[in-house]
Structure 1
Amino acid sequence: MKIGVIADLHIDRGNKYTPADFEFYLIETAKNKQLELLLIAGDISNNYKMTAQFIKKIKYALNIPVLFIPGNHDFWTNETDISSLNIVDYYISMEECLIDSPFIINNEWAIVGNTAWYDYSYGDDKFSEERLAQRKYYGATWQDKEKIDWPLTDQSMSELALKQTVKDLSKVDNKNIILMTHIVTHKQFVVPTPHRIFDYFNAFIGTSKFNKLYETFPIKYSIMGHVHFRKSIEEAGITYICPCLGYERQWRTKDLAVELKNTLVTITV
């Protein structure tokens, strides 16, 4: 099976391109690459209804399985009638969402997914946990602080994500696993330091809590997003892939079709 993986589309953050443009060009890219399954590792939009609608349209147009996990932006809420926890439940109710619903490819392979959550472990040790919890530095605010209303601390949310992922990994009967998260789960994918800003903000990029999962379960591919890098490494028999489209200002060209083609990574199982 030929599987495409991509992350951080941010379809509502384009300057030149509209969400409909992202939809059109992603469909074209997937068709051109002859994908049989598409995985999206979060941060599709800043609105849960837009994210859900986008997934449904892509799936309908391609007529192949399209699976996703939400990113932090997909949990943002500016509405008074719904909380971020309600949005989690909304996504879990979707058949395309991997949280609590691993996807069995065949007798040998399965896909497990969870947003995961940052636990401050990749922030510089010079910052205390209390200082990091402020999520403000050099006049900049980590926007999750304003736009996500979790009732628990980031560390507690990270632990809950870990427990759910272990539960889902345990459902797939020792099959080879493609693990998809939004939050970074490997230290080589954080912003390189020393860095004036990201010595601090790397605290909100990844989690080290998943380290033990790679030693316990037969994970062969680990897909992640969030950091807006495009990078892959192989380590101890595991291929780690970060296929982030990112914001338009971060693209290497001005052409969405080219960027999607260059960002989307294919794997064959």
Structure 2
Amino acid sequence: MKIGVISDLHIDRHKSLRPDDYVAGLVEVLNQREIELLLIAGDISNHYQLTHQFIEAVETTAHVDVRFIPGNHDFWSEDTDITSAEILKYYMHMDACLIGKPYHINDAWAIVGNTGWYDYTYASSEFSLERLERRKYYGATWQDKVKIDWPMDDRKLSEIAASQTRKDLDQVKDKKVILMTHIVTHPKFAVPMPHRIFDYFNAFIGTSDFKEIYHEYPIQYSIMGHVHFRNVFEEAGITYICPCLGYQREWRSNQIIQEMNHALYTIEI
């Protein structure tokens, strides 16, 4: 089976392309590469209904199964009539969402997914917890502060995400696992320090709550997004993949198909 993985599509952030253009571009790449299953590691859009519509459009047009986990942008509730917690429930009722629903590929392989959440441990130690909780630095505000309304703090959310992931992994621990998160779970994908801004903002990039999970379960591939890097490396028998499409200003060309082809990583099992 050929599995395609991609993240951080941000289909509503391009200056001139519409969401339908993202559907058409991705479908063309999936067909060219003969992808049979597509995994999306979050940040499809800034509105839950648009995220849902995109997934359904790709599935019906490309005739492939799609599985996803929402990213932080997919939980933004500023322009909606429901809370971020209600948006999470909405996603979890979707067949395509992996949270709480491990996907059994075959007798040997399964996929487990969770957004994860940041726990501030990737920030420089010079910043106090109180300082990090402000989520403001050098005049910039981490936008989740104003666009997400979780009923608890970030570190508690990270713990809950890790706990849910363990429960899902327990259901498939006899199989080889593809683990997909949105939040970074390996520090190699954080912005290298020292850095004038990300010494602080790395706090909202990754989590350490998944660290022991990699030692306890048979994870073969770990997919993540959020940082808009495109990189792959192997460590201790696990292949770590960050397949972000990212914002237009981060692209290497103006061609969406070229950028999707570069971002999309293929796993063959």
Q: Same fold (TM over 0.5)?
A: yes
Q: Partners in 2 of 1:79 and 1:253 — Cα distance?
A: 31
- For the residue of structure 1 that corresponds to 2:3, the secondary structure is strand
Alignment of 1:160-199 (within 5 A): 160-199=160-199
Shift of 1:65: 1.1
Question: 1:233 is matched with which residue?
Answer: 233
* C-alpha distance in structure 1 between counterparts of 2:162 and 2:209, whole Å: 7
**One-letter code of the match for 1:250?**
E
Residue 94 (structure 2) aligns with = 94
Q: What per-residue deviation string (whole Å, max 9, x for no partner) do you get for residues 46-76 of structure 1? A: 0000000000110111222100000000000
- The 2-side partners of 1:25 and 1:248 are apart by 14
Contact 2:8/2:225 (8 A) holds in 1: yes
The answer as to 2:151 corresponding to 1:151 is: yes
Partners in 1 of 2:253 and 2:62 — Cα distance? 26
User: Following superposition, which runs of at least 4 residues in structure 1 exceed 6 angstroms of deviation?
Assistant: none
- Secondary structure of the residue aligned to 1:231 is strand
What letter matches 1:179 in structure 2? L
* Greater mean alpha carbon deviation, residues 7-16 or residues 76-85: 76-85
Partner letter of residue 163 of structure 1? S
How far does residue 80 in structure 1 lie from its aligned partner after superposition? 5.9
- Give the structure 2 partner of residue 257 of structure 1: 257
Match of 1:224 in 2: 224
| Superposed CA offset, 1:12-66 (max 9, x none) | 0001211111010000000100001000000000000000000011011122210
Contact map agreement 2:47 2:80 (CA 8 A) in 1: no
SS in 1 for 2:212: helix
The letter of the residue matching 2:93 is S
TM-score normalized by the length of structure 2: 0.99
Per the alignment, residue 24 of structure 2 pairs with 24
The answer for the alignment partner of 2:122 in structure 1 is 122
Aligned to 1:243: 243
- How far off is 1:224 after superposition? 0.1
Query: Could you tell me which residue of structure 1 aligns to residue 131 of structure 2?
Result: 131
Indicate how the Cα distance of structure 1 residues 80 and 228 shifts in structure 2: closer, same or farther if over 3 A, else same: closer
Deviations 1:209-229 (A, max 9, x none): 101000000000000000000
- Normalising by the residue count of structure 1, what TM-score does the alignment of the two structures yield? 0.99
Q: Please, what is the CA RMSD of the aligned residues?
A: 0.7
Matched residue of 2:227: which SS? coil
Structure 2 gap segments, 5+ residues each: none
Q: CA deviation at 1:81?
A: 2.8
Q: Distance in 2 between matches of 1:64 and 1:19?
A: 19
8 A Cα contact 2:3 2:268, kept in partner:
yes
